[in-house]
Amino acid sequence: MGENPAKNHYAKLNQGEENEMEIFGYKTQGCRKASCIAGYIFSCGALLLLFYWKPEWNVWANCIRCSLEEADVFLLRTTDEFQIYSRKTVRWISVYALIKSRSDYPAAAAEDSVFNKAIMKPSLQVKTIQVQKIRYVWDTHAKLFQKVGALEDHHTCSAIHAKFGSGLTCNEQNVRRVICGPNTIDVPVIPVWKLLIKEVLNPFYVFQLFSVCLWFAEDYMEYATAIIIMSLLSIFLTVYDLRQQSVKLHRLVESHNNVMVTVCRNKEGFQELESHHLVPGDMLVLKEGKTLLPCDAILISGQCIVNESMLTGESIPVTKTHLPQSDNFKPWRMHCAEDYKKHVLFCGTEVIQTKADDRGVVKAVVLRTGFNTAKGDLVRSILYPKPMNFKLYRDAFRFLMCLIAFAAIGMIYTVCVFALNGEETGEVVKKALDVITIAVPPALPAALTTGIIYTQRRLKKKGIFCISPQRINVCGQLNLICFDKTGTLTEDGLDLWGLLPSERNCFQDIHSFPADHSLPWGPVFRAMAVCHSLVVWEGKIQGDPLDVKMFEATNWVIDDSSRYQIEGQGSTHGTVVRPGPKAGNGPVEGLIILHQFPFSSALQRMSVIAQEIGGEKQVFTKGAPEVIAMLCRAETVPLNFESKLLLYTAQGFRVIGLACKSLQAGKQSTDLTREEVESDLTFLGLLIMENRLKRETKPVLEELSAAHIRSVMVTGDNIQTAVTVAKNAGMISPKNTVILVEANKMPGSFSASITWKPLEQNKTEDYESLAKAVGHEPRSPRAFTSALPMEDGSWTERRIGLALGSGQYHFAMNGKSYQIVVQHFRHLLPKLLLNGTVFARMSPGQKSSLVEEFQKLDYFVGMCGDGANDCGALKVAHAGISLSEQEASVASPFTSRTPSIACVPELIREGRAALVTSFCMFKYMALYSTIQYLGVLLLYWQLNSFGNYQFLFQDLAITTVIGVTMSFTGACPKLVPYRPPSQLISPPLLLSVVLNILFSLSLQIFGFLVVQEQPWYSKTDIHSACLSTHNHTENSSSVSSLGLHGIRDGYNEQMDNGYKSYENTTVWLLSTVNCLIVALVFSKGKPFRQPIYTNYVFILVLIGQLGICLFLVFADIDDLYTKMDLVCTPTMWRISMMIMLAVTLAVSLLVEEGIIENRPLWLLLKKTFQYHSKSNYKKLQRLLEQDSAWPPLNETIFSDSVAISVEGNMGGHTNPTFDSNEDAL
């Protein structure tokens, strides 16, 4: 039974969000519920267990469909490809006691408040459900569920100040608290008994319980006991691990759950209370000193400096400013665009410093509480991780289904054989069920996870921490890595290279660093001294590395220890900078930074309002030179601004623009908007900073390139700088052409234009003359490749034509162009991404979008960044790697303690090794169970089977030990230029399994039939072959006695328990050594793992097991043979068995190495049968190879002229994000 959305029965929860779900309404029906209870009793709880595994069946069986309004039970279904169901029941909350006696409440509460809409009249009750720790209430007006615990998004900036600026009344606060619940991120330590029951009810352990019960019924006590011990050990280890995680998470969050805070009550003044009483809309008062934030809050007055390392992994202090009182109709978040975070204080972060403005105290309105907060969201992502849709896991499930089908065939065969021979019904059933436990290995899931566990340990030793182990296998498939630039590819710190001042719209002589003489006093010096967001924290100047270097060049110091009197304004908090000991005598006592507009990724600039002590107020702005120039008065910007900027950015320098203006006296700095402050500026000059590549960047990128793994740069820096760094790092070869893609919106219309311009190497004389002018040694032309617009000339056109013809070109674009392409040229986006290498001036949101667009082209995308601006992209990528000093950053699945991209190839190597290990383990476990299954079915033909100790030796001494040690093999140090298969259902893997099954079947049937043809063979006398040697006088058991006793029936007599026969001995010995053969054959090393001989433990285990097997073959020890249900055979027959096994080993190795692992052969087959990869990016590559008009150089295309004609080209563009159709070998 599926779900068909009907009117009022169905809605979407969290529409458009990452955790979007479908919700269906149901009403419990008495007679249905009674029938189900009867079913539970008659099925001895089996039906209840089935409903536990399948909650949707539970709801469909117990309830009838109804509208959401009438429903008391809800069925939720995720909207991703997994479509996971969960069942939720309604909980009613009464606010009768709070409102009944206070008729003024509805008037006091805002009419558009979700709290007001949720209260049902006249019962004064609220209908709620809780999903993944978030509470939802039924909106009686909109007839849908709304999230509570967060301030509504529709409030404007001015509304937040007006409605919540004075605080909530005590009654409003009480009602909200009852509806929202406590402001706690409560992760209780799960009791051991709950964890134990949940683990035991896992389908895998239920199957094991079934197997164990069957084995006990057949007197197979030893292995059943061994499995029970191993299962209990596995369960207790898992429970212990889960318990430790639960305790760790509980300790991580409990410190913020109960902090004393001060709130402002409307008409009642300030009040101290515990933080768990906070509700959205409360007015929080932030006092001086360090404070842990217990909720998300919007700063509405004053300024804060916050340490957000817990969220981002980056310990640079962040400045937060108050929300402007803008009087417009846009919701506050839309009005602030991507900069809204600059006004939000996040839960779990630490306020280091507060600065009150002229309005007195620092205030913030509670925005979100509990699990709705930023920290709560991170904790929920740990509690409810997004499942990975990786082909290996889906194929493993399908393969398991095939084994079950295989077992079903064996069951039919067993029933036919034993029923026709007159066996008792009970015995027939037991034997038939036994086939399932043989064909489907109960240890398979455990074996598959061992490789992941060992890989995780190896990564930890190398300083790479993982909070999402299931992603390790995905790392083995990565074929595109996005890198942030600053701090990732280049050094974190910047060196000041030079300052190019500007006066009267002309650039002056460059001032180089380090300089013999100090900077002259003037507006540029003042800008460098105050235009930053640095703080003194723990006795050190801390902040953005660029700001630190710039400020240190002035030799001034920061003094923010006291309040300063400002004429006509009373006292105020302000950071004061003064001349330091090395600065000499400055012309002023110091400068006061009165107000800050922090750096914004979206606006690409920051500004401060500062004042000389006793002087006038001035605005100082710094940021991207192109942006700063647009904000300046045209007459102050030098005419050669663009060419100078291009000259420096093309050499890979980071260039910052500086500007200033004077403010009119009498205006309060806090009343000014950012737009007013950052207009009509005077251009001051360019600050030129050198950002050196990290030592390991180039070798790592060369290694990735050699392994055919694409590298893409995604940065917030200037496009020319980014292109040059990409060339210096080796992302772009010197022979390749770079094409700049520029998209612009057409003024006054809804259309847009896109232009392709080639960038060409600039003559190095420009740089050499520049270097000589400032006294620097010119760098080698190879080290600095300039990227300037191409000069006309037939040789350049010819060279570019050749490069384009061979596909050797790279696209570069900035964030603005990317956004326009996404909106207006969607059909061109896949083509641009296929060769896009440099994406500059990208905002955090655009970085995440870019990663998702690459995933839609079926790339397996890795993202490597510093964890701050890259948080979104790190989470969205298949493998996000944060370079953070913290042991594990919750911002990404992987964290490297060493801030170096050397961790990227390391992770790919280990991922590939883990993936291949999973395949090896899967193949081995499938073959081991098939070998045992075939052997048992052969012996069933004679109404015989393996003995208990024979099963025990194969299951415990051979397979379990191999399963544990096979995964020890480490990763190969060299990255090969192709990836391991991503799926089990790939021709080489399937062929390997099928051929080895055929070899095993042939070996066992051959041994089974040939032993019967031997002259010494006897059906009735199991001692006939060795009578002359051992002088046996005992009468042998008859075949009928072999058949009349069930498998594993216990002893018939001291010397013969019903299993002994020449066929049994032959088949068992052949199948046991065959298990060792397949273990050796499948334990492949290169190209993804180290050679097998480096896994010393595994090799020693195999040698030891082979020694024991040979001892069993050639030893004639009566007691041992009796215990193992073996019979004596002539030495020549034993040698014959060894020859059969040697031939099987030789054939298996030959086939595995000569066919299965023969990559050139498979490539030839693909070429012969014209097989092409189904990945979208591969299809597009083939399409573009035949398109001579692509890329359209020096052309401009308009959105409305081509959108219709080209739109149909990429029909398969929207594939599921985590699902690739790559059929790589």
- What are the residue numbers of the active site? 484
Could you give the angle at the alpha carbon of 798 between the alpha carbons of 793 and 802, nearest 5°?
A: 150
* DSSP summary character for residue 535: E
Instruction: Establish how many alpha carbons lie within 13 A of residue 617's alpha carbon, considering only the half-sphere containing its beta carbon.
Output: 21
Q: Rounded to whole angstroms, how far apart are CA atoms 1039 and 939?
A: 12
Record the tokens describing residue 924, joined without a space: 């081995």
> What 3-state class would DSSP assign to 292?
strand
What is 481-509 written as a DSSP string? EEE-TBTTTB-SS-EEEEEEEEETTEE-P
The β-bridge partners of 87 are: 75
Three-state DSSP class for residue 797: helix
- Sequence-distant (≥ 6) Cβ neighbours of residue 111 within 8 angstroms: none
Beta bridge partners, 28, equal: 63
Longest Cα separation, the chain: 123
Helix residue ranges, H only, 440-487: 444-461, 472-475
The single residue listed with the structure tokens 């990836």 is: 979
Task: Provide the H-helix boundaries in 201-220.
Answer: 203-217
| Contact residues for 134 (Cβ-Cβ < 8 A; gap 6+) | 147, 149, 371, 372, 380
Please choose, from the candidates 798, 649, 776, the residue with its C-alpha nearest in 3D space to the C-alpha of residue 724. 649
Q: For residue 632, give the DSSP letter.
A: B
The Cα 116–Cα 128 span in angstroms is 14
3-state secondary structure of 516: coil
Q: What angle in degrees, to the nearest 10, is found between the helix axes of 903-940 and 987-1012?
A: 30
| DSSP line for 563-591 | -EEETTTEEE--EEEEE-GGG-S-SSS-E
- The verdict on whether omega for the bond into residue 317 sits within 30 degrees of 0, i.e. cis, is no
Tokens 């997004």, residue located: 386
Within the chain, how many helices (H) and strands (E) appear? 44, 45
The amino acid present at 82, given as its one-letter code, is F
Q: What is the DSSP letter of 1153?
A: I
- CA dist list (Å): 929 to 923, 1073, 1081: 10, 14, 16
Residue type, 384: Y
3-class SS letters over 987-1027: HHHHHHHHHHHHHHHHHHHHHHHHHHCCCCCCCCCCCHHHH
Using DSSP, state whether 92 is helix, strand or coil.
strand
**CA 472 – CA 449 distance, rounded (Å):** 11
Query: Left (φ > 0), alpha (ψ -120 to 50) or beta: where does 688 sit?
Result: beta
- CA distances, 114 to each of 19, 138, 1165 (Å): 21, 9, 64
**Collapsed DSSP state (helix, strand, coil) of residue 1076:** helix
Spatial neighbors of 738 by CB under 8 A, at least 6 apart, are 723, 727, 732, 758, 759, 787, 809, 810, 811, 812, 837, 838
